[in-house]
Amino acid sequence: MTHTGTVPPRTDTTPVTPVGDSFRGSGRYSWKPYALLWRREMARLRHNPVRLAMGLLTPLLFLVVLGTGLEAASSSLGKAQLNDYRAYLFPGVLVMSVQAPAIAVGISLVWDRRAGVLRQMLVSPFPRSSIVLGLALGGATTGGIYGLLVLSVGGIASISYTPMLLVVFVEVLLISLLFTSLGLLAAVTIRQVDTFQIVVSLSLMPLMFFSGAMFPPNGLPGWLDTVVKLNPLTYGVDAVRRTLPGPDSLTSEQTRLLLGDWNPPIAAELGLLAALTALALALAAHRFARSS
């Protein structure tokens, strides 16, 4: 079906690398397409510092303004508990920070299709799945950079700077890869930029709000408890919360995620996220390979 509407102007002014020409001339199973697409996403980030700043603005507003405001609004909470709630909110803010940069990869794929850049990649001698995987690696790395910047200001939420933050960073990379995979799956299914942005925005909001990022996941009304426990992002936020070095409020009985009387181990939560990521990537690569 031919789109007859007006194409909105592209907001990303980063020069587009001629990936089609660079793709040609190497062996079928070379690492080149992965490295090329990864470098392309890094170039987009490097040439657009405003995108980096704006991507960090919302998470920091949630952490500083919302965290402080909710504490100040409760007369029953003392000053000593201020940082405790910020610490509880911090894992959700950290996960929130990797959403936008990861999903932006899906938007760039839709734009590349409209601009004709994608055709150059499709005629290369490499498997089409390598294009999806290369974009996924670039998007996950971009999200990881955002997460690293948020981790660097964890001190305002009483997060301790210990080697355990390296483990947290690996978890953030996995969550970023999950977001990127879901964004790419949507991008190979939806061909219109406006439609893609609306669908992704409406999907991400409930994922975050029903993840236990802002309130404890236990003791909720029946329907809300079910939604929270079925949300895969709940387990990502819980894994990050239990790994972060900080106040006791991060791992207290009130904030611990329970499935009945069972508290799932962190390894099981990360395994669930890894399985969902692999499934989303496989579906995206399969659908992309069948598209023209």
Give backbone dihedrals phi and psi of 259, rounded to 5 degrees, phi first: -110, 90
Predicted pLDDT at 134: 85
> Between helices 82-97 and 164-187, what is the axis angle to 10°?
40
Predicted pLDDT at 30: 63
Average pLDDT over residues 35-61: 75
Predicted pLDDT at 106: 82
What's the pLDDT tens digit per position in 198-215? 888 788 888 888 888 887
Band (pLDDT 50/70/90 cuts) for residue 196 is: confident
Mean pLDDT over the full length of the chain = 77
Would the CA dihedral through 30, 31, 36, 38 be positive or negative?
positive
Can you tell me the distance from the alpha carbon of 269 to that of 241, in angstroms, rounded to the nearest whole number?
Answer: 12
Contact present, 167 and 256 (Cβ < 8 Å): no
pLDDT higher than 60, residue 21? no
**Within 13 Å and on the Cβ side, how many CA atoms surround 173?**
10
**Pairwise pLDDT comparison (151 vs 1), residue with the higher score:** 151
Predicted pLDDT at 26: 45
Band (pLDDT 50/70/90 cuts) for residue 261 is: confident
What's the pLDDT tens digit per position in 215-255? 777 777 778 888 888 999 999 999 999 999 988 767 777 67
Predicted pLDDT at 166: 95
Can you tell me the distance from the alpha carbon of 31 to that of 173, in angstroms, rounded to the nearest whole number?
Answer: 21
Can you tell me the distance from the alpha carbon of 225 to that of 190, in angstroms, rounded to the nearest whole number?
Answer: 31
Lowest mean pLDDT among 20-29, 98-107, 108-117, 252-261: 20-29
pLDDT higher than 70, residue 81? no
Name every residue whose Cβ is closer than 8 Å to that of residue 285 and which is 6 or more positions away in sequence.
Answer: 128, 129, 132, 133
Average pLDDT over residues 130-140: 86
Predicted pLDDT at 232: 92
